[in-house]
Amino acid sequence: AQSVTQPDIHITVSEGASLELRCNYSYGATPYLFWYVQSPGQGLQLLLKYFSGDTLVQGIKGFEAEFKRSQSSFNLRKPSVHWSDAAEYFCAVDPTSGTYKYIFGTGTRLKVLA
Amino acid sequence: DVKVTQSSRYLVKRTGEKVFLECVQDMDHENMFWYRQDPGLGLRLIYFSYDVKMKEKGDIPEGYSVSREKKERFSLILESASTNQTSMYLCASQGNDEQYFGPGTRLTVT
């Protein structure tokens, strides 16, 4: 079945440490790929998106993500985490690349230690 | 700046009540969406609309209906609220190859 997997439900990192959030998808073709962030009590905000081309994508707030076709992955990274990055992060795919019917992962909740 | 607003941040309703959740976008987008968000389940698509008066079921439409009489407004209707519809409801509109989300409505059905 088509799916989006975020294997880590919770992640805790110290402020200033590096971060990697994992996302894997199971679709035949390369879908459109997205990372969203949800701060407590808020809606979702787009961090970055990948459609095609350069597999390393830069986003807002210092985040980047790398698309790896061979691994069906789209992992989110940040070299140095700030306390304000504490939030829930969602990976999403548009499996038919343009229908806009996204499939979301179950989310990873990030806690940042001072 | 892109803006999606939802009529209520918090709502408490009784079982069997008819509930309306309203969503308004100011970006002239054609596509609009309703999701529900539950812990451990992520976001699941209830309904979406790709034009005025046009709608399509998402993954979990049971117990819900929608209305889109004007382009900027997309309403989610719970015909007879049940306790298993207690959830966070998020509205989104689509434009520029991304979805823009409202702040959400946390609905509690008692």
Considering only A40-44, A57-61, A62-66, A107-111, which range has the smallest mean pLDDT? Answer: A40-44
Q: Which of A46, A104, A105 sits opposite B98 (nearest CB)?
A: A46
Q: What is the pLDDT of residue A41?
A: 80
pLDDT for the residue A97: 64
Q: Which residues of B touch A (CB under 8 A)?
A: 4, 31, 33, 35, 40-45, 48, 58, 90, 92, 94, 97-104
What do you get for the CA distance between the two ends of chain B, in Å? 37
- What gap in Å lies between CA A9 and CA B2, rounded to an integer? 30
pLDDT at A1: 64
List the single best residue of B101, B105, B106 to mutate versus A (max A Cβ within 10 A): B101
- Which of the residues A35, A37, A101, A108 would you substitute to probe the B interface, choosing the one with the greatest number of B C-beta atoms within 10 Å? A101
- Which residues are within 8 A (CB) of A43 and not within 5 positions of it... i.e. 6 or more apart? B4, B90, B101, B102, B103, B104
Instruction: Please state, rounded to an integer, the average pLDDT across all residues of chain A.
Output: 92
pLDDT at position A31 is: 83
Higher-pLDDT residue of B87 and A2 is: B87
CB B46 within 8 A of CB B35: yes
Give me the torsion for CA of B3, B95, A87, A25, rounded to 10°: 160
Q: What is the pLDDT of residues B21-45, one digit of tens each?
A: 999 999 999 999 999 999 989 999 9
- Tell me the pLDDT of chain B averaged across its residues: 94
Overall residue count recorded for chain B in this entry: 110
Q: Which residue has the tokens 């499996």?
A: A95
β-pair type (A73-78, B105-109)? unpaired
Three-class DSSP category at A85:
helix
CB distance B43–A90 less than 8 Å?
A: yes
CA angle, A23 then A27 then A29, to 5°: 115
Q: Which DSSP letter does residue B96 get?
A: T
**Chain B residue whose CA is closest to A48:** B98
